[in-house]
Amino acid sequence: MKKIVALVLAALMLVTVFAACGETKTDEKVIKIGIFEPASGANGAGGKQETLGIKYAHAVCPTVEINGETYKVELVPVDNQSADDKAPTAAAELVGKKVSVVLGSYGSGVSIAASDTFKQAGIPAIGVTCTNPKVTEGNSHYFRICFLDPFQGTVLANYAYNELGYRTAYTLGETGNEYDQGLVHYFTEAFTALGGKVENASFVKDTSDFNTLITNAVNSGAEVIFAPTSIQYAQLIVEQAAAKNADVTLLASDTWDSNVILAAAKGKDVDIQVTTFYQEGGNAEFDAGFKAWIEGDSQNLTDNGGDSKIAAVSAMGYDAYFVALEAIKAANSTNPADIMAALWDVEYTGVTGAIKFDEINGDADRSTAYIKKANTDTALWDFVKEQGVN
């Protein structure tokens, strides 16, 4: 028995190694774009939606012209598992597959962990929705097309204070998570500078019970709970706040822009407002095309959370793909170094707005964020306004 098991195992190993080696070769000219996104772990859901945007963009425009020749674009996705220690090997996988440019990741932590691998390989990376300042700071290969934490935190504080007229806020974030705590930090800074009062609270990883924290918030007299958490917690916070009939606004950041939140809020008495990169309805052609594409494939539908609502990260992924194509066209080469050089001068107007990188870090210049509000009757986002820092 043992021997048979051992033999089967050994045979399987051999087969897998051979299968891994066997790569098909074609005569077509191909340029590879790596998708460095989580498909599992804490950020799996967001990573999948971002990947969908990139894949849709690829479906819309699967080729690129280089030196008068048509190159087929091949997407190479890899799962970084939202884990820092898995990120460098995932990045190395892309390097090994000889990608010319990398898109991603959702979540800044893995981007920072993988940054050196891309740097050593000389491959440019375009951050799609990683909002931490450290991703692009002090390097010349990591670019980013979204806004940053300091910007988003400040925008939200201004919106809460000036537009909603709130004076007391309660913040919730996961401890040790630079995304949550970074936004909380900048929100608190801006909100108190305006004259508001903030109480900060944190919770530990894998918390499910927010009842106590929501009670604390209500007891503290807060008018708004600012909770820029990942989707996993967001859903629980929405449900528990609704079950408590807590009379507060839930204010959050781009991570909450997900159909999971809408599903949780449906039919409940909650006020949820988020800032985000894109508002459905911003570009009718993209919306219609993307929805049709999602609905045409059951796997896509599952990855998008079971329906065809458009997450802002998908729109960002879509734009990131075209930014990469622009850079490839401008570089007129498949060589990563040329593309990296060309990226600095790329200007592109996508569905989420105009994208142009600054000269210091390679961050896109974004001066407004979209604010939207969950409609609990229709389970859709209602557009509220465009909000800048001022």
Partner 1 sequence: MKTKSKAIFKTIDIVLLLAVLGVAIAVDAFMPVGLPATVLKKGAVFAVVAVSMNLLNGFTGLFSLGQAGFMLLGAYTYAIFSIPLEARESVYYMQDHLAGFLHVAELPVIPAMIAAGLIAAVFAFLIGLPVLRLKSDYLAIATLGFAEIVGAFAKWDTLGPITNAPNPLVNYPKFSKVTTYFIVAGVCIAIIALLVRSTYGRAFKAIRDDEIAAEAMGINLAKHKMISFVTSSFFAGVGGAMLAMFQSKAQANSFTTALTYEILLIVVIGGIGSLSGSVIASFLYIACSEWWLRFLDTPDVIPGLTRNGFRLVVFSAVIMIIVLFFRRGLMGDKEFSTERLVKGSKQLVRNLQDKRKAKEAK
Partner 2 sequence: MNITIDHLLAGISVGGQYALIAIGYTMVYGILRLINFAHGDVFMASGLIVVYLTTAMPLQYAIPLVLFLTVMLGFFIERAAYKPLRQAPRMSVMISAIGVSYLIQNLALYITGGLPQTYPAIPWISDSITIFGAVTKRVTIITPILTIILIVLLVALIRYTKIGMAMRAVSKDFETAQLMGIKINRVISTTFVIGSLLAAVGSLLYFTSYQSVVPTSGSMPGLKAFVAAVFGGIGSIPGAVIGAFIIGICENLIKSSTEFAIFSDAFTFALLIFVLCVRPTGLFGEKSIDKV
Q: How far is the CB of 215 from partner 2 (least distance, A)?
A: 4
17 binds, among partner 2, partner 1, none (CB under 5 to 8 A by kind): partner 1
Contact at 8 Å (CB) between 91 and 117? yes
> Which residues face 171 on adjacent strands?
200, 226
Residue 208 as a binder of partner 2 (CB under 8 A): the answer is yes
Closest listed residue to residue 78, CA positions, set 115, 43, 103:
103
- Where in 18-47 is the site for partner 2 (CB under 8 A)? 38-41, 44-45
Nearer to partner 1 by Cβ, of 221 and 296: the residue is 296
Q: Is the dihedral of CA 275, 276, 281, 283 positive or negative?
A: positive
Contacts of 7 (CB under 8 A, 6+ apart): none
Binding mask 223-262 for partner 2 (x = CB under 8 A): --------xx--xx--xx--xxx--------------x--
Rounded to 5 degrees, φ, ψ at 246 are -65, 125
Nearer to partner 1 by Cβ, of 112 and 274: the residue is 112
Distance between CA atoms of 252 and 171, rounded to whole angstroms? 10
Q: Site for partner 2 (CB under 8 A): which residue of 70, 120, 211, 349?
A: 211
Nearer to partner 2 by Cβ, of 113 and 238: the residue is 238
Cis peptide before 111 (omega within 30 of 0): no
305 binds, among partner 2, partner 1, none (CB under 5 to 8 A by kind): partner 2
86 binds, among partner 1, partner 2, none (CB under 5 to 8 A by kind): partner 1
243 binds, among partner 1, partner 2, none (CB under 5 to 8 A by kind): partner 2
Token pair 């970084």: residue: 80
Residues in touch with partner 1 (CB under 8 A): 1-2, 5-6, 9, 16-17, 19-20, 39-40, 78-79, 83-93, 95-96, 109, 112-113, 115-117, 120-121, 133-134, 137-138, 173, 175-178, 180-182, 185, 202, 204-205, 299
Nearer to partner 1 by Cβ, of 336 and 350: the residue is 336
Two tokens, residue 74 = 């091949």
Closest listed residue to residue 34, CA positions, set 145, 164, 127:
127
- Where in 64-123 is the site for partner 2 (CB under 8 A)? none
263 binds, among partner 2, partner 1, none (CB under 5 to 8 A by kind): partner 2
Q: Site for partner 2 (CB under 8 A): which residue of 78, 94, 125, 201?
A: 201
Q: Count of CB atoms within 10 A of residue 266's CB?
A: 15
Query: Quick one: which segment of 68-76, 120-128, 208-216, 276-284 binds partner 2 (CB under 8 A)?
Result: 208-216
Binding mask 157-196 for partner 2 (x = CB under 8 A): ------------------x---------------------
387 binds, among partner 2, partner 1, none (CB under 5 to 8 A by kind): none
Q: How far is the CB of 361 from partner 1 (least distance, A)?
A: 12
4 binds, among partner 2, partner 1, none (CB under 5 to 8 A by kind): none
Contact at 8 Å (CB) between 254 and 179? no
239 binds, among partner 2, partner 1, none (CB under 5 to 8 A by kind): partner 2
Instruction: Kindly determine how many residues on this chain lie close enough to bind partner 2 according to the rule CB under 8 A.
Output: 38
Contact positions vs partner 2 (CB under 8 A)? 38-41, 44-45, 48, 175, 199-204, 206, 208-209, 211-213, 215-216, 219, 231-232, 235-236, 239-240, 243-245, 260, 263-264, 302-303, 305
